[in-house]
Amino acid sequence: MPKSLFIDPNEVLRPQEHEIQFPKIPVMEYSKSVKDELAAGNFTKEDLKHIYRDMFVIREFETMLNLVKTTGGYNGVAYNNPGPAHLSAGQEAAAVGMAYTLDTNDFIFGSHRSHGEILAKGLRSIEILPEAELKKVMEDFWGGATVAVAGKGFQGSTKELGIRFLLYGAMAEIFARTTGFNKGLGGSMHTFFTPFGIYPNNAIVGGSGAIAVGAALYKKVNRKKGIVVANLGDGAMARGPVLEGMTFASMDQFKTLWEGDMKGGLPVLINVMDNQYAMGGQTRGETMGYTFPARLGAGFNPEAWHAERVDGYNPLAVIDAFRRKKALLEKKEGPCLLDVVTYRYSGHSPSDQSSYRTKEEMEAWQAEDCILAFGRRLMEAGVATQADLDAIQAYVKDVIFEMYKLAIDETVSPRMDLVKDNELLGDMMFSNGSVDSLGDAKPEVNHPLEENPRVKQIAGKCRFYKDENGNAVSKMKMYNIKDGLFEAIVDRFYKDSSLVAYGEENREWGGAFAVYRGLTEALPYHRLFNSPIAEAAIIGTAIGYAMCGGRVIPEIMYCDFLGCCGDEIFNQLPKWQAMSGNILKMPVVVRVSVGSKYGAQHSQDWTSLCTHIPGLKVVFPVTPYDAKGLMNSALQGTDPVIFFESQRIYDKGEEFHEGGVPEGYYEIPLGEPDVKRAGKDVTFLTIGATLYRALQAADELKEKFGLEAEVIDARTLVPFNYEKVVESVKKTGRIIIAGDASARGSYLNDLAANITDLCFDYLDAAPVVLGSRNWITPSHELESAFFPQPGWFLDAIHEKMMPLPGYVPVSNQTCAQQILRSKKGV
């Protein structure tokens, strides 16, 4: 909501135009012949033959996989491939046409059905890369392990070696071999190879929709060459993340508010491989209403995304369209949308019997087969003879068969031995890097840090909750959690040029909770901006941004909105580091604010949902010292961190760290819980703002019963070092684990189970979990019955650990009640 944009009621209420004009969206306009193209000098004969070759490579590759899946072998050599194979036979012209205009600076993202796209992009990269560069790429990859297998004894050209390398690397990946492009950890649906500009394919339909937009954002903000293409299916156009990603890419601010060379559209092209089917559903006439996916462009911006529907059965038509769209993108007039007509010969997967379509339909399309047709056109134009084409096919078949035999050979293409070395994959889940800056440029800022109004304001604050005379500091004068977060974040903005932050109301407002107040003044638009209210796009784009090498802080305003970006948080963010074989890093710090007072859809603590998903680090600091130190660590790292904050305590001062919050930079390692108060009789381990209620309970316990509670703040949930907790429980023999997440299925139970394992002989009672009730969060006035209260701690001690003399419980923490509630499912 920048003030520079005046919403003029005169204009809004009394517009000049009284209808919305849509630009025309061309459909199948390309009509050139091969001869026309040759005459125009758009291709050489060799180029055209390579196009034919590349299409046939894809066809034979998919045929090989189909035979392996359906007959258990290829050319008489048996192999069992139990994994998926979503084949793209029939779509070769669309893939090769897509890749033809792209170089290695141009990135493609794909879907579950992207073998064709990666082969096309790989073959094109091999074609255009200088030989020395190509050689270096192959030799550097996995220390030359992949090329060593693919090129053993091979005496041919570097380009031909490149083709062997590409085919072998892809096959080995699909067959889960360590020599595969992603060490066999990605597989068929996630194979990719970044040195050729091939970025992850995605097994979640439409998963690349927002990620590719984030990659484009990275290119723009960091002034990197190239465009980004998201290859999606016609079915994916129904997916929220695609539509949210397109919304994000359509933002007016790129053209209205971003300044200087940053002004202009994102270099992203959504390329719809319109193969007519979404699983078994027909997008045209059955499951969608757009008739042509190209129509969608009209809904997003006045340029209708420069949408066009092109003939994906003719590679030259696709190339023609890509040339024009790429030029638009390079002129910052993007984004663009292409709807490439094609047809999927195989079923969704080899197990799909295509019961939803007729034999006649399939035969009709096969009669139009893109490879046959293109071969005929080449012969008509005198580019190639049948013998030439036959020779190409024979070469392709030979190479694929040779690479197939290598890829299934255990001796040269081994799999990871996760039984023998069963920590191997575990050690790949996080990159655990420590990097000051991921950007190579000088960070763009608006003024020196010391001139920043927020920095000046903080300078006048007391960094401990009591002043030097021991008097309480007023709220206005007290350095609080917001200040701690701000200091860490602004520090990183001044260190790392790649760092960007965005979310709903991140700029002028300073974030809904004013953590970013002062950042607006410090940063240009392209480093801090408001996003559309599209959580899937906020996180999805951040993933794409980080994949390409940037650091990013997306913000989710309320924890409750995590569900809106469920796939991005649970399926994308945590997976790519390991799934890439550790090629990708994922330096994304997702700030998530946990609410209260606002009822059932704005007051939930969903930390547990995040801890459940392997591959995420989960942090929840509740003091200014911890907030700053943990944010510094999160931002110094290279892993995805879900950084929870509590709205209850944003203005809390530092009550624990002697000397207050240091002014300089410091890190608190993720994973170390902190003893906030020492005690000997019982341990309270808390997650989040529950800490302060636990301390109140500890006070009451001491005052009334002379018992001393040791209060430990978990601070980080993943990773988590149990050593301090074990040490404490060995001393006290009792532990209450408390947090604001609803108790059932929460991480609190996970902690309890592990502590029981680790401290069994030292326990005087089973660990007690105090979570919120398994209800909706009621309104603020009723919250005390829902969230763990100080009294609940004493109740739990009295009922389940050691009866306190004369104590009258305030809540029902008995085992009988536990059973009763569980029976009712609450």
Partner 1 sequence: MANVVIMPKQGQSVESCIISEFKVKVGDTVKVGDILFGYETDKATFEEESKVEGTVLAIFWADGDEIPVLQNVMVIGNPGESFEEFRPKAEKGTPSETSGHPRPDKREGPAAEGSGRGRSEAEAVSEGVPFAAVENAGAPVSPRARFMALQKGVNTAQVAGSGPGGRIIARDVEAAALAQGHLTGLAKARMAEGGVVSPGAGSGLAGSVRGADLKVWKPSHTEGLPGEGTEYEVVKMSNMRKLIAKSMYNSLQNSAQLTHMLGADATRVQALRKKAKKALEEGRIDVNITINDFVCFAVIKALKQFPNLNSHCLGDAMRLFKAVNLGLAVDTERGLMVPAVPHACELDIIGLAKALKKVAEDSKKGSVNPDLLSPEAASFTVSNLGGFGVEWFTPIINVPQSAILGVGTIVPRPKLVEGKYEFVPYMGLSLTYDHRAIDGGEATRFLKKVAEEIENLEVEL
760 in contact with partner 1 (CB under 8 A)? yes
809 in contact with partner 1 (CB under 8 A)? no
CB of 760 to partner 1, least distance (A): 5
Minimum CB distance to partner 1 smaller for 412 or for 707: 707
526 is annotated as an active-site residue: no
∠ CA 447-451-452 to the nearest 5 degrees? 85
CB of 765 to partner 1, least distance (A): 6
The site for partner 1, by CB under 8 A, has a size of: 22
What are the residues whose beta carbons fall under 8 Å from the beta carbon of 385, sequence distance 6 or more? 379
509 in contact with partner 1 (CB under 8 A)? no
Q: Where do we find the tokens 């083709």?
A: 163
Gap between the Cα atoms of 245 and 213, Å rounded: 6
Burial-class residue 554 by CB neighbours within 10 Å (0-12, 13-18, 19+).
buried
Pick from 587, 596, 517: nearest CA to 559: 596
Cβ 590 vs Cβ 556: under 8 Å: yes
764 in contact with partner 1 (CB under 8 A)? yes
Gap between the Cα atoms of 561 and 592, Å rounded: 9
707 in contact with partner 1 (CB under 8 A)? yes
Among 30, 509, 665, 762, binds partner 1 (CB under 8 A): 762
Which tokens is 688 given? 């989040």
Dump the DSSP string for 731-756. Answer: HHS-EEEEEEEESTT-HHHHHHHHHH
Gap between the Cα atoms of 113 and 343, Å rounded: 12
Element (H, E) at 686: strand 682-686
Which tokens is 282 given? 């027909």
How many contiguous H segments (helices) and E segments (strands) does the chain have? 28, 21
Among 658, 703, 781, 825, binds partner 1 (CB under 8 A): 703
Q: Where do we find the tokens 């909750």?
A: 465
Among 79, 401, 509, 705, binds partner 1 (CB under 8 A): 705
Minimum CB distance to partner 1 smaller for 559 or for 763: 763
Which tokens is 617 given? 């680090």
Gap between the Cα atoms of 476 and 337, Å rounded: 51
**What secondary structure letter does DSSP report for 233?**
E
Piece of 75-83, 452-460, 629-637, 799-807 that binds partner 1 (CB under 8 A): 799-807
Minimum CB distance to partner 1 smaller for 441 or for 810: 810
770 in contact with partner 1 (CB under 8 A)? no
Gap between the Cα atoms of 457 and 483, Å rounded: 10
- The site map against partner 1 for 175-214 (x = CB under 8 A) is ----------------------------------------
Q: Where do we find the tokens 């996180």?
A: 539
Gap between the Cα atoms of 382 and 631, Å rounded: 65
487 in contact with partner 1 (CB under 8 A)? no
Minimum CB distance to partner 1 smaller for 263 or for 730: 730
468 in contact with partner 1 (CB under 8 A)? no
Query: Which of 602, 612, 657, 798 is labelled catalytic?
Result: 602
Among 320, 586, 799, 811, binds partner 1 (CB under 8 A): 799
CB of 771 to partner 1, least distance (A): 20
Piece of 21-29, 449-457, 458-466, 800-808 that binds partner 1 (CB under 8 A): 800-808
Among 15, 130, 143, 805, binds partner 1 (CB under 8 A): 805
Minimum CB distance to partner 1 smaller for 204 or for 707: 707
Piece of 223-231, 545-553, 775-783, 803-811 that binds partner 1 (CB under 8 A): 803-811
Minimum CB distance to partner 1 smaller for 190 or for 800: 800
Which tokens is 409 given? 């050979």
CB of 479 to partner 1, least distance (A): 34
Cβ 340 vs Cβ 234: under 8 Å: no
At residue 73, the 3 state secondary structure works out as strand
For the chain, how far is it from start to end, CA to CA, in angstroms?
42
Among 24, 761, 808, 825, binds partner 1 (CB under 8 A): 761
Which tokens is 35 given? 């001869």
Among 143, 706, 781, 825, binds partner 1 (CB under 8 A): 706
Piece of 151-159, 531-539, 601-609, 701-709 that binds partner 1 (CB under 8 A): 701-709
Cβ 93 vs Cβ 318: under 8 Å: yes
528 in contact with partner 1 (CB under 8 A)? no
Cα dihedral across residues 397, 398, 403, 409: positive or negative: positive
Piece of 92-100, 140-148, 611-619, 754-762 that binds partner 1 (CB under 8 A): 754-762
CB of 202 to partner 1, least distance (A): 48
Cα dihedral across residues 577, 578, 580, 583: positive or negative: positive
170 in contact with partner 1 (CB under 8 A)? no
Which tokens is 274 given? 């319109």
803 in contact with partner 1 (CB under 8 A)? yes
85 in contact with partner 1 (CB under 8 A)? no
**Which residues, listed in sequence order, are joined to residue 772 by a DSSP beta bridge?**
742
CB of 767 to partner 1, least distance (A): 12
User: What number of other Cβ atoms are within 10 A of residue 417's Cβ?
Assistant: 10
Gap between the Cα atoms of 211 and 113, Å rounded: 17
- The site map against partner 1 for 270-309 (x = CB under 8 A) is ----------------------------------------
Gap between the Cα atoms of 241 and 168, Å rounded: 33
At residue 137, the 3 state secondary structure works out as helix
Minimum CB distance to partner 1 smaller for 327 or for 810: 810
Cβ 197 vs Cβ 107: under 8 Å: yes
Gap between the Cα atoms of 490 and 463, Å rounded: 17
Piece of 37-45, 270-278, 774-782, 798-806 that binds partner 1 (CB under 8 A): 798-806
757 in contact with partner 1 (CB under 8 A)? no
27 in contact with partner 1 (CB under 8 A)? no
User: What number of other Cβ atoms are within 10 A of residue 314's Cβ?
Assistant: 23
Piece of 33-41, 127-135, 498-506, 705-713 that binds partner 1 (CB under 8 A): 705-713
CB of 724 to partner 1, least distance (A): 19
Piece of 436-444, 596-604, 775-783, 802-810 that binds partner 1 (CB under 8 A): 802-810
Among 804, 809, 818, 821, binds partner 1 (CB under 8 A): 804
* Type of residue found at 155: Q
What are the residues whose beta carbons fall under 8 Å from the beta carbon of 303, sequence distance 6 or more? 23, 297, 333
Element (H, E) at 770: strand 768-772
699 in contact with partner 1 (CB under 8 A)? no
Element (H, E) at 594: strand 589-594
Pick from 699, 722, 703, 725: nearest CA to 712: 725
- Binding residues among 99-118 for partner 1 as defined by CB under 8 A: none
CB of 773 to partner 1, least distance (A): 22
812 in contact with partner 1 (CB under 8 A)? no
763 in contact with partner 1 (CB under 8 A)? yes
709 in contact with partner 1 (CB under 8 A)? no
Among 50, 507, 652, 800, binds partner 1 (CB under 8 A): 800
CB of 685 to partner 1, least distance (A): 17
* Type of residue found at 116: G
- Binding residues among 677-696 for partner 1 as defined by CB under 8 A: 680-681
CB of 805 to partner 1, least distance (A): 6
701 in contact with partner 1 (CB under 8 A)? no
Minimum CB distance to partner 1 smaller for 67 or for 802: 802
Catalytic residues: 602
**Residue numbers at the binding site for partner 1 (CB under 8 A):** 680-681, 702-707, 733, 760-765, 799-805
